[in-house]
Every structure is written in C-alpha cells, then in structure tokens.
C-alpha cells in the first residue's frame, strides 16, 4: 500500500538556477521580448551602419541640392528612391538616421557602463567603509547631483568647444551619482548579512568581501538600474545635441537631426517625425526591458504570479 502511494506521487519540480529562472520569466514577458527585439534591431543597425551606407551608395553628409529638394527648396518626402525623404539641405534622411543610430548606441552603452563602474566603486566604498569615508563620498555625490546640467554643459562648451569627448564626459559626470547613491544604500543593507560575518570570521579581506560576497548579491539590482540608465543617457545625448552642446555638425545624431529640421516641420514633417520615432522607440524599449528585468529578478514578484 505504501509502495503504491509512493509511486503515485508526481515527480518533484526541478530546481532552477537564478539564471534559468530569470530567463524563463523574461521569455514569458511578451512586452520585454518585444522591447528586446527593438533593442536588437537598433544594435544591428548600429553595427552594420557602414555596410548599409555602402549599399545605399552615398554618405550621410552628401547633399542632393538638385534631386533632393524641390524647385522651391523644400525637402522631398519619403519615396522609392529616398525611403525616408530628405532633410533641410537635401541629405538622405534614412542614411543620417542609420549613422545617428550608431552614434547613439555607442554613446548610450559607453556612458552607461562608465557611469555604472564609477558609481559601483564609490557606492561600495561609501556603504562598506562607513564613517568619515561615507560622509565625504556621500557629500561629494550630493554636490555632483546639485550641479545644474545645462549651465555646466554650456560652460564646458564655451571653454573647450563642442566635441564628442566633452559630451560623453558631461553625460557620465551627471549620471554616476545616482548609481553611487543606490549602490551605497544596497551595500549598507547587505553588509550586515550572516554570509558577510562568516567571510570576515574566515579571514577574508575587505576587498574580497566587497567583490566576492556583497557585489554578487546586489548585481541584479545594479543590472536593472543600468538598463534604466541607458534611456536616460539617450535622452541626455539627444537633448545636448539638440541644444548644440553635443557632437558638432555635420555628424548625424538623432537630436542633431531634429534640431536641424525644426524650422521645416510644417512643410517637411518626416524630417522631425522619423528621428523622433527612433528616439521614442529606443527609450521606450530600454524602459520596458528594465521593468521586465526588475520583475524577473524579484523572487517575490514571481511567486505572486
């Protein structure tokens, strides 16, 4: 009787690792998968931008004053030869958007990763060390967060001129502070755990405890925050380029394209609409993916579903 009862029990569900659980949760999230598809498409467009430009046959700064503008000097609308039409000076808008995608993706990833690394290092030192070090580093973060972005950017451009390096440095400077504050709070809440006390009793160094014990336990939250930081960087880059504080023309950027064509929106709506849609798609996709990652990395959210 006992043997029959034992054999009739259903097999136990397999124990999933954290990576398997997160991937399974993400695959079930249709919105996150759609956002991932959009991000993948943008990344592929950025990677293969030189190939796309070569296939089209002309560069992003090549002007077609005779064939790209009407007799009255109005940009041409989207058509079979020029898929997304032309801009205010007769340049191929599709090619400029493709090259602008390359610039935007590079800036977003490079600035976000740099800001995360700086924020994690400073946040972990402040949260783990505490005391005077925490006071000084947290005060420095407060000072950075209190600086006005636009005034600082204008001052830097006035002194050094608009350039790729100045723009990226400005973005990193104004985005690492929130990362450091989040990481500091996470470390303060984590360092009192029993696994940290056990590692300290075994003679582990402070560096070992921070890197091998605390960092893996807060990595999920840092990844989520990083995915949500990327759309902020994209908007900052577009805003600085729109205001003339980013990459100097004629380099194609989404914000720069919108700024160049803002006076012609009534007669050339496509020159504003398409770069705005690219900007909207990128920021929305990263935000949706960040929400999906947050839900997938939160065990309590999974239990409630």
Q: pLDDT tens digits for 83-127?
A: 898 888 889 999 999 999 998 889 989 999 999 999 999 999 999
Does 233 reside within a domain? yes
Check which CATH number belongs to the domain holding 160 and give it: 1.10.3720.10
Does 286 reside within a domain? yes
Does 8 reside within a domain? no
Please check whether residue 254 is in contact with residue 271, taking contact to mean a CB–CB distance below 8 angstroms: no
pLDDT value, residue 1: 47
pLDDT digits (tens, 9 = 90+) for 166-211: 889 999 999 999 999 999 999 998 888 888 888 888 888 888 888 8
pTM of the model: 0.83
CA angle 298, 304, 305 (to 5 degrees): 95
**Domain count for the chain:** 1
Does 65 reside within a domain? no
Does 190 reside within a domain? yes
| In 191-251, alpha helices (H) | 194-201, 206-208, 215-242
Helix axes 18-28, 270-297, angle to 10 degrees: 140
Cβ atoms within 10 Å, residue 191: 20
Q: Rounding to the nearest 10 degrees, give the CA dihedral for residues 268, 271, 247, 155.
A: 60
pLDDT digits (tens, 9 = 90+) for 25-83: 778 888 889 999 999 999 999 999 999 999 988 888 888 877 878 877 788 889 877 88
What is the total residue count of the chain?
305
* Band of pLDDT at residue 141, cut at 50, 70 and 90: very high
* Band of pLDDT at residue 8, cut at 50, 70 and 90: low
Does 76 reside within a domain? no
b/e per residue 101-131 (b: at least 16 CB within 10 A): bbbbbebbeebbebbbebbbebbbbbbbbee
Does 135 reside within a domain? yes
Range in 125-134, 216-225, 296-305 the model is least confident about: 296-305
The mean pLDDT value of the chain amounts to: 85
Does 183 reside within a domain? yes
Q: Is 91 left (phi over 0), alpha (psi -120 to 50) or beta?
A: beta
pLDDT digits (tens, 9 = 90+) for 264-300: 878 888 999 999 999 999 999 999 988 888 887 765 5
The parent domain of residue 173 ranges over 25-56+84-303
């Amino acid at each position: 009787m006992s043997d029959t009862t034992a054999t009739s029990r259903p097999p136990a569900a397999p124990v999933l690792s954290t990576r398997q659980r997160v991937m399974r949760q993400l695959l079930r999230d249709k919105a996150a998968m759609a956002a991932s598809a959009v991000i993948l498409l943008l990344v592929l467009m950025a990677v293969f931008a030189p190939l796309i430009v070569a296939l089209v046959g002309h560069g992003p700064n090549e002007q077609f004053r005779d064939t790209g503008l009407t007799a009255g000097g109005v940009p041409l609308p989207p058509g079979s030869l020029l898929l997304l039409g032309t801009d205010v000076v007769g340049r191929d808008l599709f090619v400029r958007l493709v090259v602008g995608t390359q610039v935007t993706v590079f800036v977003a990833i490079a600035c976000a990763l740099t800001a995360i690394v700086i924020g994690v290092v400073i946040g972990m030192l402040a949260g783990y060390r505490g005391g005077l070090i925490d006071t000084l580093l947290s005060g420095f973060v407060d000072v950075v967060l209190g600086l006005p972005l636009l005034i600082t950017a204008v001052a830097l451009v006035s002194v050094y001129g608009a350039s790729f390096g100045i723009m990226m440095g400005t973005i990193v400077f104004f985005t690492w502070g929130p990362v450091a504050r989040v990481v500091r709070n996470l470390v303060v809440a984590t360092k009192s755990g029993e696994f940290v006390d056990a590692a300290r009793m075994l003679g582990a160094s402070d560096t070992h405890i921070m890197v091998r014990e605390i960092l893996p336990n807060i990595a999920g939250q840092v990844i989520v925050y990083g995915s949500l930081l990327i759309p902020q960087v994209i908007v900052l880059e577009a805003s600085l380029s729109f205001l003339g504080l980013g990459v100097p023309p004629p380099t194609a950027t989404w914000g720069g394209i919108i700024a160049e064509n803002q006076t012609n929106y009534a007669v050339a709506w496509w020159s504003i609409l398409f770069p705005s849609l690219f900007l909207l798609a990128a920021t929305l996709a990263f935000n949706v993916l960040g929400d999906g990652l947050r839900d997938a990395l939160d065990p309590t959210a999974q239990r409630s579903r």
